Amino acid sequence: MRHLGQLLKNHIETNNLKKRTISDAVGITSNYLSTLFNKESMDCELWEKLCLATGLNPAVAFDTHYTGNKNYSDIHAQTVLGPATVMIGAEQKPLLDLLAEKERLIQVLLASSGLKIGTETGQHQ
């Protein structure tokens, strides 16, 4: 397990969060919040409240790594419940086909209407 106080302090400083706002949301004093930065561990309920108040993911406290099967995709993330995979671009081909068909339809409609769009500047029909 990682040093919770340092994780919290780094997160607050990196994101320019106000200690007073966080301490008020958690129900502790600003001074007590500052003392927590030196604590390696703390009560789970307090850690949860601090994470909610700061937007910090509570799972960053754990040094566990998933060593399951390798799945190569655009994004691979570790969640509390196991691996999470997002396939960006998995639906790209159907979308590109749809856009190509739309462009073809536009060209057909323009040709049948007799409109000349994209011709030399200054010429109007």
Q: In the prediction, which pLDDT does 13 show? A: 92
| pLDDT digit string, tens, across residues 33-49 | 999 999 989 998 999 99
| pLDDT digit string, tens, across residues 58-88 | 888 887 654 555 554 445 555 666 665 656 6
Residues 6+ apart with CB under 8 A from 67: none
Alpha-carbon span 101 to 98, nearest angstrom: 5
Tell me the residue range of the domain where 52 lies: 4-61
- Whether 22 is in a domain gets the answer yes
Q: What is the DSSP string of 20-72?
A: HHHHHHHTS-HHHHHHHTT-S---HHHHHHHHHHHT--GGGG------S----
Average pLDDT of the chain? Answer: 79
Q: Specify whether the CB–CB gap between 60 and 2 falls below 8 A.
A: yes
Query: Which two tokens mark 90?
Result: 């998995």
Helix (H) or strand (E) holding 94: helix 92-113
Q: In the prediction, which pLDDT does 73 show? A: 46
| 0.85 surpassed by pTM | no
- Whether 99 is in a domain gets the answer no
CATH number of the domain where residue 51 is located: 1.10.260.40
Q: Beta strand pairing status for 75-79 and 82-86?
A: antiparallel
Hey, what's the torsion of the CAs at 10, 12, 16, 17, to 10 degrees? 180
Domain total of the chain: 1
